[in-house]
Amino acid sequence: MLEELKERVCKANIQLRDSGLVILTWGNVSAIDREKNLIVIKPSGVSYDELTPDKMVVVNMDGAVVEGEYRPSSDTPTHIALYQAYEELGGIVHTHSRFATVWAQAGLDIIAYGTTHADYFYGDVPCTMPLEENMITENYELNTGYAIVDTLARRNLGPMEVQACLVAQHGPFTWGETPEKAVENAIVLEEIAHMAVYNTNFQFGLTRISDALLDKHYFRKHGDNAYYGQGFGSIKALDPSAASNSSEEDIQIAPSNHTVELKNISEIGEVARPVINKPPKKEEDVFKFDDKAVPSGDSDMSSGMDIMPLEPDAPGEDLLPLEPDPVGIAPSTPPFGSVTARTGMSAAPAAPVTPAAPPAPKKPVPPAEPLDFTF
C-alpha cells in the first residue's frame, strides 16, 4: 500500500540526518495521499540507520494504524492536525535542529533580516505561545498542532506564505506541497535561524528587511509571476529534427519582467560607502584648548600677583638650591622656576640653621618621707 509514497518518505527522513538537522531519533517526516486520506510517517524511536521503506507506517486521519509493524511517530497527532487544517500541505517535517530550536526555546520569532530569509518565507517565522498546563496533560501532541494553526490565524498568515512555525519551548515544524519540499524548508529554516543568532548580536541599528525587498525576493520565486529557475522565461523548445535548419532568429525567448540595465565599467563613478547606523565616533578635539592663551592680570586667578611666562635661566648662571619651607607656613613665592626667573634678581644664600640642643634629662625626684601623724 502506497509503496511509492513510503519510498519518498523514507528518503526524506534520511535526508534530515544527512543534512545535519537531526541526531539520534529527534525528528520525523510524513506525507499524505489526499485521495485516500492516508498518511505515511516515520516509526517512533527507530534509528535513521535502520530506516527502510517497508518500516514506514500508514495511518488514517484518526491516527489509527492501517499498515505497518511499528508504532507511528509520537508526533503523528500534530501532523494530522496540520493536514486537517490546511489542504495545501503534502508533507510535514519536525526536527530539533540546533539553531531553530534555540529560537523556539526562547519563545521568539525569527525576524526576516535579509533576502536569504525572504526567498522562502514571506515575513517573520512565528513562534507559538507556550502551551498551558491542561493542553500539555491532555492531548499534548494534538494541541501542539492546534497551537500552530492558532498562531498562523492570529498573525493572519497563510500556510503557504510562511511554511514554518516554531513551537515555544519545543522545536520547529515545516511543511510544503511535498515531503521533499518540507525537508528543503527545514534546511533553509535552520540556516536562517543560524544567521539570525549572529544578526541579533550586532549592537547598532539592526532592522528587518524592507517591504520592497521582501516582496521582490519572495514573489520572484513564488506566485503567478515568478521568474526564478528554469520553469519560467526559458528558451522555446525546438523540434530536434529541424534544429540543424534553424537560424538564430528562430530561437524565441519568453519575455521576463526582470530587466537589468548594463553599464560600461568606465561609466560608473565612485561608489559611495554604505552608511551603517553606528554610534557616532568620539571627537578627538573635544578637550583641546589653546595653551598659548595667558589670563589677564585682573582675572580671579591672578589677583594679587602677576603671571608671566617663565624664561630659562641665563647661560652659565648658577642655580640656587631649593630651600624647604617651614612646616605650617605657606611659601611666599610660587613653587616653580628659579629665584632669578621669578623675581628677576639674584638672592643671597640663606644662613645655615643650627639645630637646637635637645633638653637635658630631668633628674629623678626621690619619694617624699611619709608624714608622721602620731601625737
The 3 state secondary structure assigned to 29-87 is EEEEECCCCEEEECECCCCHHHCCHHHCEEEECCCCEEECCCCECCCHHHHHHHHHHCC
Q: How many C-beta atoms lie closer than 10 Å to residue 160's C-beta?
A: 14
Q: Which of 33, 109, 119, 150 is catalytic?
A: 119
**Cα 239 from Cα 179, distance rounded (Å):** 35
Domains and CATH numbers, the chain: 3-211 (3.40.225.10)
Asked whether 175 and 92 are in contact (CB, 8 A), the reply is: yes
φ, ψ of residue 33 to 5 degrees: the values are -100, 105
Q: How far apart are CA 363 and CA 139, in angstroms?
A: 107
Residue whose entry in the numeric block shows the C-alpha cell 592680570: 297
**Among the residues of the chain, which ranges form H helices?**
3-18, 76-85, 98-106, 115-118, 133-137, 140-154, 179-199, 211-219, 339-343
3-class DSSP state of 174: strand
Q: Within the chain, what is the greatest distance between any pair of CA atoms? A: 167
Asked about 86 being catalytic, the answer comes back as no
Residue among 245, 95, 84, 305 at smallest CA distance from 183:
95
Q: What is the pLDDT along the chain (375 residues), one digit of tens a residue?
A: 899 999 999 999 999 999 999 889 889 999 999 999 999 999 999 999 999 999 999 999 999 999 999 999 999 999 999 999 999 999 999 999 999 999 999 999 999 999 999 999 999 999 999 999 899 989 999 999 999 999 999 999 999 999 999 999 999 999 999 999 999 999 999 999 999 988 887 756 677 777 777 777 778 778 777 766 665 443 344 344 433 343 434 333 333 333 333 333 344 344 343 333 333 333 334 334 444 544 555 444 444 444 444 455 555 555 555 555 555 444 444 444 444 444 444 445 555 656 666 666 656 656 656 555 554
How many of the other CB atoms lie within 10 Å of CB of 54? 12
Of 150, 227, 228, 313, catalytic: 228
Phi-psi category of residue 204: left, alpha or beta, with phi > 0 → left and psi -120 to 50 → alpha: beta
Task: Annotate 358-375 with b (16+ C-beta within 10 A) or e (fewer).
Answer: eeeeeeeeeeeeeeeeee
287 CB neighbour count, 10 Å cutoff: 6
Active-site residue, 198 included: no
Cell numbers placing 73: 511517530
Cα gap 186→177, rounded to integer Å: 13
